[in-house]
Chains A and B, each alone.
Chain A
């Protein structure tokens, strides 16, 4: 799997683009399995770096979504309420929320596509 280089990644398996669009990685959807439920915050909600802002559920597991950086929610992918399987089909396209990033410098602390790929391989091999 090659990860898109137009965005940054977290060790909690989220991605975020420079304009503040957030989703989960292909590795995340693979490890979750069939996704059946996505719960997201409302527009206007403040989210904080490293804190949960939503939930993704597969048939077998419940997972928290953690904010890669702090910001204010400006958009929510409403399609996922009725078609959560979109995340399985296209994890890097099926975004979850858009935020107005509070401090762009926070993005520097996140992983590049290559670093994330390496992190995932190490995690699998450890």
Chain B
């Protein structure tokens, strides 16, 4: 047997580690190299983990992720809004202080430098949370393209240990560890507060911690940004797991992070979006505000819209036995190659084999039957509505 995605037994020196690396290894997590980072892909079955269990915990309870490999860029100063507006496609002028939005940085061609979450932290202060694999590229790009604006651009990527607490019980877990009333923090809002490290009576806490109601799992949840020194990081991580026991919290790796985001049809850089794919093709129209003041990529997008797209992102569900994987060819019913799979996997919660794929618009209608080439065989699949998974609406103030 040979595993196609083998785990490198030795970590090359160039591979980076988060402050929680030793903690993951102590927990016997299976480690993989991801975008230059040594990260946990899943935790052991012996502690109730594994991708499927981790995935289900996030859909039904709560899961904890170390996402410190994500990068952070701060823009602050009188020209910060104008700078953010210039480099990103969503309309940051609509953000109130404490609000966040999904957006993207575009090349002049209308293709992706990266997708980002823009947080408005203060009157003239924004925090862009960016992908691990594009950290250095993004920072240089942001710095180079905002020189004309009156604002400071700082790379804070190494300053934070970013921990995601995700799932319907995430709010209950985190509420036990903070003085912030989380019921008033809406989805895609961010606040600052204390994180209790022991308990309320002992008053041992970290103060002024960024707490955002964001995530990458298509579930309710939070991402907290704590100081990245090892003792603090470890303390917070262990405390969350301990407090989370009563909610069945489990640590989750990148494996579950990927299957969760795929069920929710959230884009992954290098897969659904890249420097060769534009906004319209990726179907991210609703996050691209053409009516706002000019931004990098806008002119090309206007032209691209007039010309019409040649490929479009669709959701596929396998009809016959087989699992579509990243990079597999998509064929029409006659066996002619028409596109490719960007992300494909079994969907642990939906219990189906699903994929996102680029196909020509003519074959993109829901119900269209296509084939995915799996080891030389065309296996039937069907275009289905996206997202594959949408979290049930719960009667809380958080929605």
Contacts and interface: CB of A to CB of B under 8 A. Distances in A.
Interface string B310-323: 00000000000111
B271 to A, nearest CB: 14
Contacts of A88: 45
Interface string A7-38: 00000111000000000100010111110110
A60 B1 contact: no
Interface in B1-49: 1-5, 7, 9-10, 30, 41-42, 45
Contacts of B321: 37, 81
A62 B7 contact: no
Contact of A59 (B30, B45, B51): B51
Contacts of B3: 31-32, 61, 63
A36 B354 CA distance: 13
A55 to B, nearest CB: 7
Contact of B375 (A55, A63, A123): A55
Contact of A63 (B4, B7, B346): B4
Interface in A91-126: 123-126
Contacts of A12: 1-2
Majority secondary structure of chain A interface residues (helix, strand, loop or mixed): mixed
B51 A33 contact: yes
Which bracket fits the contact residues of A? Answer: 20 to 34
Interface in B315-334: 321-323, 325
A122 to B, nearest CB: 10
B341 to A, nearest CB: 13
B71 interface: no
B215 interface: no
B232 interface: no
B51 A57 contact: no
Contacts of A14: 1
Given A14-B1, A31-B7, A62 B325 contact: yes
Closest 9 CB pairs of A and B: A59-B51, A34-B52, A13-B1, A61-B5, A36-B346, A63-B3, A62-B4, A60-B255, A12-B1
Given A59-B348, A60-B5, 13 more contacts: A13-B1, A31-B3, A32-B3, A33-B41, A33-B255, A37-B322, A57-B323, A59-B255, A61-B4, A63-B2, A123-B9, A125-B9, A126-B9
7 contacts: A36-B346, A37-B322, A55-B375, A57-B346, A63-B2, A64-B1, A81-B321
